[in-house]
Amino acid sequence: MNILQINVCLDKGGAAKVALDLHNNLQKIGVNSQFAYGWGVKGGKSDSESNVKNCFRIGSKLQVITNFVFHNFFGFDLFSPFGVRRSKLLEAIKMADVVHLHVIHSYFIKFSWILDAIASANKPVVWTSHDYWILTGRCSSVGDCNKWQSGCGNCPNLSSYPATFLDFSATEFKRKRMYLSKISSNLVLVSPSSFLANELKKELPNVDVCHIPNWLDKNFEDACRNNILANELIKLPFGSVNVLVVSNNLDDTSKVNKELIISLLDLKGVFLHTIGKNSPFSGKNVFNHGEITDRIEMVKVISSCDVSLFTSKIDTFGLVMIESLACGVPVLAVKSKAAEEVLLGLNIKPVDSYADIIELIRSRTLPTEYINKTRESLQVSIFERFGHSAATENYVKIYKRLISANKLS
């Protein structure tokens, strides 16, 4: 079985973590998997490329930078791979039994070109919808906007990622649906969350849709298992309390509530730990750890904290929540689709408001769902529900089903 994974990044962001872990897991069980990615540092090679087997870069710096500039004006990518990179990608598609798409927006490939190439090669497609981009005319995170349900146009959120100056969302909406129809008979869409899966089924009734939750990557899970947790009840210390915030971009207000965090920093004994780039927070009680790729180091930093915050308004899953819980660290999150997707399945209720989070930390208390639980029990519940091996098995079942159907057609 030959599988080709395609994602914008090799190791940055939640989608990349999932895609790369799946790629590595497939190779360990004897499946031939290749990983094609768009770009890494400053549009060039990823720092991790030399450590990953069977991976190659699709984008060149010139292609990525040009697409970035063009996309910021017009809202879509203009250029696809060229030269040797183009030939290598087309050959990989030709050799694949299944092409597995992940995130294909963000400046590295013209989506109509890649879907045409796959359709021409008559290859089955698994497409993991890590966000709403498949359903919209332009953006990847819809927030409170519902215009995508009627074909977009007059986009009210042109700054929403990936941002644009001019609005061609209505045209792009039609183009996406047209190209999706070209591969729909040979396509399985996978959603990490049940609410997004329901939207996909509603909007694309002729497409096979499955729900496979995101999971802990193997290296992170192994690091957690090797990190011995104290078998004591979870509680917030009455003295200093270490609060964790994790985001790829800490300056993104759609994911990180700055006002909440500033209010918490004004409380006595609160220390903030951040993981991610572009932290807007500073001070004697702030520890910005920056981007952390080493999973052992990440587990160490998370485990050193007393509580983790999740304030994203746009995530479709919230991988950072299960990473914190896997380290035995309780999560405080206000109600959102992503928070409810993860926490309610663990019988933990999101809180009602940001004011509630402030009061809980001020009074050094936690929601009742954490009472009489230990860090170890939190970790066990995450391993059972979001361990890496079950997800890989589910994807392999989908691959086999598509390959079998393609041979019969």
**Over the stretch 285-313, which tens digit does the pLDDT of each residue have?**
999 999 998 999 999 999 999 999 999 98
Which range, of 56-70, 80-94, 312-326, 395-409, averages the lowest pLDDT?
Answer: 395-409
Query: Quick one: CA torsion of 87, 89, 94, 98, rounded to 10 degrees?
Result: 180
What lies within 8 Å, CB to CB, of 401 at 6+ separation is: 188
Q: What is the mean pLDDT of residues 336-341?
A: 92
CA–chain centroid gap for 226, Å, is 25
Asked if 2-215+388-408 and 219-385 have one fold, the answer is: yes
| Statement: residue 240 has pLDDT above 90 | yes
Residue (of 22, 32, 24) closest to 1 by Cα position: 32
CA–chain centroid gap for 81, Å, is 24
How is the beta sheet containing 208-211 ordered, strand by strand?
A: 55-57, 32-37, 2-7, 98-101, 125-128, 187-191, 208-211
**pLDDT digit string, tens, across residues 116-163:** 999 999 999 999 999 999 999 999 999 889 999 999 999 999 999 999
**169: which DSSP letter?**
H
Q: What is the mean pLDDT of residues 9-17?
A: 90
CA angle 69, 63, 33 (to 5 degrees): 125
Q: What is the pLDDT of residue 144?
A: 85
Backbone angles phi, psi at 58, to 5 degrees: -85, -45
Query: Quick one: CA torsion of 14, 20, 23, 28, rounded to 10 degrees?
Result: -110
**pLDDT digit string, tens, across residues 259-290:** 999 999 999 999 999 999 999 999 999 999 99
| Statement: residue 230 has pLDDT above 90 | no
Task: Provide the CATH topology of domain 2-215+388-408.
Answer: Rossmann fold (3.40.50)
Q: Which residue has the tokens 């694949």?
A: 96
- Mapped onto helix, strand or coil, the DSSP state of residue 355 is helix
Which range, of 224-238, 331-345, 390-404, averages the lowest pLDDT?
Answer: 224-238
CA distance 246 to 333: 13
Q: What is the pLDDT of residue 408?
A: 67
**pLDDT digit string, tens, across residues 169-198:** 999 999 999 999 999 999 999 999 999 999
Q: Which CATH class is domain 219-385?
A: alpha beta
Q: What is the pLDDT of residue 409?
A: 60
Centre a 10 Å sphere on the Cβ of residue 136 and count the other Cβ atoms it contains.
Answer: 24
| Statement: residue 407 has pLDDT above 80 | no
Q: Which residue spans within 251-378 are E strands per DSSP? A: 270-277, 286-288, 307-310, 331-333
Q: What is the mean pLDDT of residues 60-77?
A: 94
Residue (of 292, 394, 381, 291) closest to 342 by Cα position: 381
- Mapped onto helix, strand or coil, the DSSP state of residue 258 is helix
- Mapped onto helix, strand or coil, the DSSP state of residue 407 is helix
Which position has the higher pLDDT, 242 or 388? 242
How sure is the predictor about 232, in pLDDT bands with cuts at 50, 70 and 90?
A: confident
Q: Is the dihedral of CA 139, 143, 144, 146 positive or negative?
A: positive
Position 116: which residue type?
D
- Cis previous bond, 162, omega within 30: yes
**What is the residue extent of each domain of the chain?**
2-215+388-408, 219-385
Centre a 10 Å sphere on the Cβ of residue 342 and count the other Cβ atoms it contains.
Answer: 27
Q: What is the mean pLDDT of residues 9-14?
A: 89
The predicted model scores a pTM of 0.91
Q: What is the mean pLDDT of residues 404-409?
A: 76
Centre a 10 Å sphere on the Cβ of residue 41 and count the other Cβ atoms it contains.
Answer: 10
CA distance 299 to 89: 35
What lies within 8 Å, CB to CB, of 276 at 6+ separation is: 245, 246, 247, 248, 249, 250, 290, 291
**366: which DSSP letter?**
-
**154: which DSSP letter?**
S
Q: What is the pLDDT of residue 3?
A: 98
**pLDDT digit string, tens, across residues 362-384:** 999 999 999 889 999 999 999 98
The helix (run of H) or strand (run of E) holding residue 97 is: none
Report whether 100 contacts 4 (CB < 8 A).
yes
Report whether 162 contacts 105 (CB < 8 A).
yes
Give the total residue count for the chain.
Answer: 409
Residue (of 82, 68, 65, 5) closest to 37 by Cα position: 5
The helix (run of H) or strand (run of E) holding residue 98 is: strand 98-101
Tokens of 108: 């590295």
Query: What is the percent of the chain with per-residue pLDDT over 90, rounded to a whole number?
Result: 88
Report whether 318 contacts 342 (CB < 8 A).
yes
Q: Which residues of 5-15 are buried (b: 16+ CB within 10 A; e: fewer)?
A: bbbbbbbbbbb
Tokens of 94: 């030709």
